[in-house]
A = this chain, B = another copy of it.
Amino acid sequence: MDKLFAPQAVVLVGVSRRIGVGAYNGLEMLLRYGYQGRVYVVHPQADEILGHKVYPRVEDLPEIPDLAVIAVGRDLVLSVVEECLAKGIRWLVIITQGFADADTQGRQLQAKLVAAARQHQAHIIGPNTMGVLNAHAHFTTAFVDLICPAAPPPVALVAQSGAPQVGAESFTGPLGKAVDLGNAADVGFPEVLDYLEQDPQTQVIALHIEGLSQGRRFLNTAARVNRRKPIVILKTGVSVAGAQAALSHTGSLVGQDQVFTAACRRAGLTRVHSAQDLQDTILAFRKLPPMRGPRVGIATPSGALGIIALDALSREGLQPGPLPERIVREVEPQGPYWHALHNPVDLWPIGMLTGDFLKIAGQTLAAFLEDNHIDGVLCMLPAIGSPLHSNILATPEFFANLRLDRHQKPVTVALYGDARETVRNSLGQVPGVACYFSVEQAVHALGQLHRYHQAVSRPPESWPEPAPANPGHPPAAAIVLGQAALDFLAGHGLPTAAGRLTHSPAEAAEAAAALGFPVVLKVISPDYLHKADQGGVVLNLQDEAALRAAFQRLQPLLKAAAPGAAAGLLVQKQLSGRELLLGLKQDPAFGPIIICGFGGTYTELWQDTAQTLAPITLAQAHDLLASLRSYPLLTGYRGEPQVDLEAICQAMVNLAEVGLAYPHLQELDLNPLIATPQGCWAVDARLVWR
């Protein structure tokens, strides 16, 4: 991929003869960006553009360029690509729009481009892209005039748009490298992440993701890379990827965005929800050492800002650390007699009294940095431009004196006042300090570092691709219900309530005798998907007479319903306990997802579910259960006994394996799973095969 990011020679096909304002001339932009490699231009008519000799066809070029940048009209792109491939060019950036981003014809054209490239082991970036940017090599394929930063930062962006390159100030901050994958027809996130993992010029990676196809491949790569180089993700399209109409609880309860969130959490990836957050988080990762715990030392020139900091800490899952003894000993005695110190340390009354605010701030920060009970430091600092306050403006020397390199704790600064830009710029190159313009942002930065540290402290994981589709499945029926569904699950290690599908009162009575009363009787038919609501369930039948009476009541429902192979009246052992929902769902990007939640009649009301990717361990199953709001019901709510958590967790582990084994099993509900102190059993299930 070096040929893409730092080509020795590049050919531009589709450069305008116009230059200047409004020309969007890629050659002009490349030259202005300072590229020093060899540039060839192909144009059918022109002789020369911007002093560069123009070749009529790609085949006429005197060498094989590392990269072709193609910006002709969409109808010409395929023939240009074929020319380039014939010439031996293996990297193609296709700027042109109007492919899968436009209409059916565009989608077909795009498929042809990809097929052609793959035949030649060549790679396409795009189409519908601004292409690549490498500030280290002064290289860009943009049709917009970008400014190459003098000192490119070790930050790389992989996006599905050019806007974050043009608007780097609004998205990531300055960029060292970037690629716009556009429609991502060929090269996608995993390939670029593989490259960036090894790239010595990159330390932090930003991703702008609109959609993913091979979610597990992405996740395996990203989880690995993230442990070496933090990955920060802005995922968009949240509002259009809600839960779709589905045939099961599971299908309707969990939308694609929740799955993406679950995937990021599982892989330890940092997900942000706004462009500002993206930028703030990248700055923290770029400049600060790890935050190894939640305890923050806070120095503030204003009690009010200290309160704002405490609010923000609480939102971030952080906490004020204990006040270091050294502050009580050295700092407090310098203040007014009535001024007792706490954390946050209010510096102002002491600074006013001593006349040396920065000295007090420095002593306080030093005490926090050296204290073992503090994991990170937050400092609010006034930045007032007036010469009358030059003595309270923090300088690079102020932080150099703190010897931050020795302490390896993150320090974030919230600057306020008219000179905040000036001070931030002056501190920009000071290692170990990151400046923000609000308390909330400075605290959030510490929160992001803390969550990242927790995530990468867990053992690494990877997620296998599901088994290939098994020709033995799907079974005949697209929807499998009742005993047939329970039998399938029982065959895969899931605990199910004992029961038998019956077709006559006598058969039912015999089944009940074998199972032992009390029993329940249920109509099993695709016409009775919501059988409890449809009057198709009779609970708590105590003896044969009651069972026979119930059979007579339910039989007409079954007769009126559409006939089905597995239809009948199910006699089942009556169980009572806590009702859970377990489920599976095949996510279009991430494959099998396992869900647990509050089950039974009120599943949809409370929507209390948690989800993650299959497979899972017993410990992960327990973490998932414990994240439910209704988890206290399982552990002995208001004096009741705790249910058999291990049995539930084992059922979840086994269910996740089912998801991996049967990629055609689109949705699966096990609702309710009845949990008691003695075990758990599914009493109803539904399978939806694709």
- Contact yes or no, A238 B605, CB < 8 A: no
- A549 adjacent to chain B (CB < 8 Å): no
Which A residues, 542 to 584, have Cβ-Cβ distances below 8 Å to chain B? none
Alpha-carbon separation in the docked complex, A97 to B301 (Å): 13
Contact A389 B275 (CB under 8 A): no
8 Å CB contact of A308 from B275, B314, B638: B275
Closest Cβ of chain B: how far from A34's Cβ, in Å?
14
Task: Specify which of B239, B302, B441 is in contact with A311 (CB 8 Å cutoff).
Answer: B239
Query: A202 near B: Cβ within 8 Å?
Result: no
Docked Cα-Cα span, A135 to B575, in Å, equals: 75
Give this chain's copy count.
2
Interface residues of A in 217-253 (CB under 8 A from B): 236-240
**Distance (Å) between the CB of A40 and the closest chain B CB?**
22
Contact among B144, B208, B338, B630 with A105 in the assembled complex (CB-CB below 8 Å): B338
- Report whether A163 and B338 are in contact in the complex, using a CB–CB cutoff of 8 Å: no
CB pair B388 A23 closer than 8 Å: yes
Across the interface, which residues of B come within 8 angstroms of A384, CB to CB? 144-145, 166
Q: Are B24 and A352 in contact (CB under 8 A)?
A: yes
Known contacts A21-B387, A352-B24; is-contact A302 B163 (Cβ 8 Å): yes
Any B CB within 8 A of the CB of A349: yes
- Given A170-B416, A311-B238, A418-B147, the answer on whether A276 and B440 have CB atoms closer than 8 Å is yes
- Flag whether A528 is at the interface (Cβ < 8 A): no
| Contact among B144, B311, B355 for A237, CB-based, below 8 A | B311
A448 part of interface (Cβ distance < 8 Å):
no
Q: Which residues of B contact A159 (CB under 8 A)?
A: 304
Interface size on A, residues (CB 8 A): 93
Given A163-B416, A304-B160, A349-B97, A340-B170 contact (CB < 8 Å): no
How far is A23 from B390 in the complex, measured between Cα atoms in Å?
12
A632 within 8 A of B: yes
Q: Which residue of chain B is the closest to A144 with respect to CB atoms?
A: B384
A623 at the interface (CB under 8 A from B): no
Distance to closest chain B CB from A249 (angstroms)? 13
Task: Enumerate A292-323 residues with CB–CB distance to B below 8 Å.
Answer: 301-305, 307-308, 310-311, 313-315
- Is residue A98 contacting chain B, with contact meaning CB distance below 8 A? yes
Residues of chain B within 8 A of A632, CB atoms compared: 605
Collect the chain B residues with CB atoms within 8 Å of residue A167's CB: 382, 416-417, 420
Does A210 touch B at the CB level, under 8 Å?
yes
Which residue of the partner chain, among B169, B208, B391, B638, contacts A22 with CB atoms under 8 Å? B391
Q: A166-B382, A170-B437, A440-B275 are in contact. Are A240 and B310 (CB under 8 A)?
A: yes
A45 proximity list for chain B (CB < 8 A): none
Residues of A within 8 A of B (CB): 20-24, 28-29, 32, 74, 97-98, 101-103, 105-106, 144-145, 147, 159-164, 166-167, 169-171, 208, 210, 236-240, 274-276, 301-305, 307-308, 310-311, 313-315, 336, 338-340, 349, 352, 355-356, 382, 384-392, 415-418, 420, 437-441, 532-533, 601-602, 605-606, 629-630, 632-633, 637-639
A-B contact pairs, 22 of them (CB 8 A): A21-B388, A21-B390, A22-B392, A28-B388, A74-B338, A97-B339, A144-B386, A145-B384, A145-B389, A147-B418, A159-B304, A160-B304, A161-B303, A166-B416, A169-B418, A170-B416, A170-B417, A171-B416, A237-B307, A238-B314, A533-B638, A533-B639
The 5 A-B residue pairs whose C-beta atoms are closest, nearest first, are: A167-B416, A161-B304, A239-B314, A145-B386, A163-B302
